[in-house]
């Protein structure tokens, strides 16, 4: 018999009844039922109920056991007594009657409980992550993550992609975030950078003729932490293809991502035939470049109904041609209390308020006081006419300050445009759309949540396309890349030479799912002259381009195939499929919100000897 176990804690079934077996694991839960001890023994594979009664030679040993002690138990498998089966456990039809116990690893007092899924302070959970990872839900999330990676790999290989590993120590790159720098001991005063993404290397692989590349790639960015991005490092499904158009990339990747979601959606519907939504349309309809399409609310421009109206605040704004008024329909939100609550929410978001109109039913009346009371036949006819007239003139009346100011005709025109009915409302934002679209998107999300309009039991995927190539940086007063600097502008070199940079669109695209950006990519700018010109518009001279991207620039001189690709965020995909909103719930050893590893004590100070070897002197900021 094996020293520690003949079976795992998830293996025993009715077919094993009568056998003598050994199990090893952690004491998950210990219960005393009238002098009989029940120990739920847990390992990676499952839980087995173990029973020790006073007749067992190991009873005294069992009385000493505590939660999370590691033990070996030996005994005979038997059927559980009638009425005590546990259908929630694969081992729930049997139990182990224990004859011998060996303590393999006693445990001290626990800083957090392992049994159960109760909330616990995050810093304690991260400091004692090895205990936190024993908890059932987190343990299962980590296993799901591994299975998702397996599914991705299998599907990518079925699509004809080849897996490669690219370097970790590389050169700094303008990917839009700060680099993590690694000082070179051999080359004093010089630094490597950890890759923000394998962007240049995967493009160089296309120059090298490998055609279809993928990698589950670690990426490093020195960014401030937030819930949907881990501080320091994250993983992505990195992809590149040669001789492709944008449509080819979509055709290759859509079935991969759809298939992965279907594998782990637990029966929830997953979009088939993803919509393609231009960036400008996404902002206009949803107030987001990563819209949650489970929310049915679609915003509309209603400027014409306020232009020259009695609502002077909007009317004066609309005298400036760049300003607009957008309406956010709220079906079922037509109560004064709800509208006032939304207005208060907007003020809490730093806005002056959120204008609204509610629609209520109103009936016309008919005065029959002059009808001839004696003429019963005439009276009956008049009453019949009254009913028909009232039905004909029954209207929906707009209520609220905006409705009072713009009048019933404009109010009803807005209602008809938005397709609203009695008991519905509309909320309005006005000004320069470039400045208010994000708030409008937040309001749309808030309405969807408050009115329970969002179907949370589905995965809605879409391509967001036609991103602008450039954006204006107000802080630095210059034109910057708005997305990936290596993307091909729509119109190529001619567009770069002749068009206003802020009007140029790029062959860039994202994948949005349930309000998250889960992937980003583009068709690459593989023409050397166009690459130099694209960077020149963003303030980089040709000399700087050659210095910073010399490897890729040189490669483009020697026969560069048209190529494109994307990178899908593994962590966010796992987060969505595990039904959580925090990436720390799907990662093994994450840092906290202050970018600190509480388990390993990182970052830590370097010794004087280490700094001397690296030719570095620390210059700390004044406190």
In whole angstroms, what is the distance from residue 395 CA to residue 603 CA?
A: 67
Residue 505, by phi and psi: left (phi above 0), alpha (psi -120 to 50) or beta? beta
In whole angstroms, what is the distance from residue 442 CA to residue 457 CA?
A: 21
Across the range 425-436, mean pLDDT stands at 96
Closest by CA position to 41, among listed 59, 29, 33, 53: 29
Locate CATH 3.30.930.10 in the chain. 140-270+462-608
Confidence of residue 389 (pLDDT cuts 50, 70, 90): very low
Residue 601 has a pLDDT of 94
How many Cα atoms occupy the beta-carbon half-sphere of 267 within 13 Å? Answer: 0
CB 31, CB 113: distance < 8 Å: no
In the numeric block, the tokens 């994450």 are attached to 590
Polymer length in residues for the chain: 623
Q: Which CATH architecture has domain 140-270+462-608?
A: 2-Layer Sandwich (3.30)
Tell me the three state secondary structure of residue 71: strand
DSSP state of 502: G
DSSP state of 229: B
388, pLDDT greater than 60: no
Determine the CATH number of domain 14-105: 2.40.50.140
Across the range 480-496, mean pLDDT stands at 92
pTM: 0.89
Across the range 155-168, mean pLDDT stands at 97
286, pLDDT greater than 50: yes
Across the range 69-83, mean pLDDT stands at 97
| Beta-carbon contacts of residue 215 (< 8 Å; ≥ 6 apart) | 163, 164, 165, 166, 198, 202, 237, 238
Residues of the chain with pLDDT > 70, as a percent, come to 93
**In the predicted model, what is the mean pLDDT of the chain?**
92
Residue 28 has a pLDDT of 97
Closest by CA position to 582, among listed 516, 520, 519: 516
| Beta-carbon contacts of residue 541 (< 8 Å; ≥ 6 apart) | none
pLDDT in tens, 335-352: 999 999 999 999 999 999
In whole angstroms, what is the distance from residue 294 CA to residue 279 CA?
A: 18
CA dist list (Å): 58 to 65, 73, 281, 295: 11, 9, 71, 60
CA dist list (Å): 52 to 42, 73, 186: 16, 10, 64
Residue 433 has a pLDDT of 96
Closest by CA position to 249, among listed 561, 543, 508: 508
Fold of the domain built from segment(s) 295-365+386-454: Gyrase A; domain 2 (3.30.1360)
Q: What is the DSSP string of 512-574?
A: EETTEEEEEEEEB---HHHHHHHHHHTT--HHHHHHHSHHHHHHHTT-PPPEEEEEEEHHHHH
CB 236, CB 570: distance < 8 Å: yes
Q: Of the given ranges (319-323, 383-387, 472-476, 490-494), which has the lowest mean pLDDT? A: 383-387
391, pLDDT greater than 60: no
In whole angstroms, what is the distance from residue 15 CA to residue 345 CA?
A: 61
In whole angstroms, what is the distance from residue 291 CA to residue 462 CA?
A: 9
pLDDT in tens, 449-480: 999 999 999 999 999 999 999 999 888 889 99
pLDDT in tens, 558-588: 999 999 999 999 999 999 999 998 999 999 9
CA dist list (Å): 380 to 361, 372, 387, 389, 393: 27, 11, 11, 14, 20
Strand partners, 487: 524
CB 564, CB 246: distance < 8 Å: yes
């Amino acid at each position: 018999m094996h020293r520690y176990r003949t079976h795992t804690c998830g293996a025993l079934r009715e077919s094993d009844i009568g056998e003598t077996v050994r199990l090893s694991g952690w004491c998950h839960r210990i219960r005393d039922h009238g002098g009989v001890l029940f120990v739920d023994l847990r390992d990676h594979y499952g839980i087995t109920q173990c029973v020790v009664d006073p007749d067992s030679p190991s009873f005294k040993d069992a009385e000493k056991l505590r939660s999370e002690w590691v033990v070996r138990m030996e005994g005979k498998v038997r059927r559980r007594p009638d009425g005590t089966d546990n259908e929630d456990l694969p081992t729930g039809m049997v139990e182990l009657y224990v004859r011998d116990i060996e303590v393999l690893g006693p445990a001290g007092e626990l800083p957090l409980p392992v049994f159960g899924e109760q909330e616990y302070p995050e810093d304690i959970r991260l400091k004692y992550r090895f205990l936190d990872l024993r908890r059932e839900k987190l343990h299962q999330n980590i296993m799901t993550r591994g299975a998702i990676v397996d599914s991705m790999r299998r599907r990518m290989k079925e699509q004809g992609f080849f897996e490669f590993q690219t370097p970790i120590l590389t050169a700094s790159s303008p990917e839009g975030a700060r680099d993590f720098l690694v000082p070179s001991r051999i080359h004093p005063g010089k630094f490597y950078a950890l890759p923000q993404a394998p962007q240049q290397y995967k493009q160089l692989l296309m120059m090298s003729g490998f055609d279809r590349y993928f990698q589950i790639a670690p990426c490093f960015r020195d960014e401030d932490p937030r819930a949907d991005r881990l501080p320091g490092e994250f993983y992505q499904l990195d992809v590149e293809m040669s001789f492709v158009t944008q449509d080819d990339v979509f055709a290759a990747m859509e079935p991969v991502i759809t298939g992965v979601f279907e594998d782990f959606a637990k029966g929830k519907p997953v979009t088939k035939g993803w919509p393609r939504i231009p960036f400008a349309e996404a902002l206009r309809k949803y107030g987001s470049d990563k819209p949650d399409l489970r929310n049915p609310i679609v915003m509309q421009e209603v400027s014409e109904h306020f232009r020259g109206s009695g609502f002077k605040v909007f009317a004066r704004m609309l005298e400036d041609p760049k300003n607009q008024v957008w309406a956010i329909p709220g079906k079922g939100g037509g109560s004064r209390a709800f509208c006032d609550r939304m207005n208060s929410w907007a003020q809490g978001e730093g806005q002056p308020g959120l204008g609204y109109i509610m629609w209520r039913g109103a009936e016309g009346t008919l005065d029959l006081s002059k009808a001839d009371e004696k003429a019963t036949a005439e009276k009956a006819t008049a009453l019949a006419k009254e009913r028909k007239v009232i039905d004909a003139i029954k209207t929906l009346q707009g209520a609220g300050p905006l409705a009072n100011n713009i009048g019933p005709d404009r109010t009803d025109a807005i209602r008809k445009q938005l397709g609203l009915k009695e008991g519905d409302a509309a909320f309005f934002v006005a000004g320069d759309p470039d400045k208010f679209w994000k708030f409008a998107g937040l309001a749309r999300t808030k309405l969807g949540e408050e009115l329970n309009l969002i179907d949370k039991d589905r995965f809605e995927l879409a391509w967001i396309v036609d991103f602008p190539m450039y954006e204006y940086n107000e802080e630095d007063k210059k034109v910057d890349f708005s997305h990936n600097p290596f993307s091909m502008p729509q119109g190529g070199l001619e567009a770069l030479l002749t068009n206003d940079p802020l009007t140029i669109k790029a062959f860039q695209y994202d994948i949005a799912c349930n309000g998250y950006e889960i992937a980003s990519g583009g068709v690459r700018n593989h023409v050397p002259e166009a690459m130099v010109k694209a960077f020149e518009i963003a303030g980089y001279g040709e000399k700087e381009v050659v210095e910073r991207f010399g490897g890729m620039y040189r490669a483009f001189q020697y026969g560069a195939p048209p190529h494109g690709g994307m990178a899908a965020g593994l962590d966010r995909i796992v987060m969505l499929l595990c039904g959580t909103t925090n990436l720390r719930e799907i990662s093994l050893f994450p840092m906290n919100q202050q970018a600190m590893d509480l388990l390993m004590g990182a970052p830590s100070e370097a010794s004087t000897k280490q700094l001397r070897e690296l030719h570095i002197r620390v210059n700390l900021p004044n406190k």
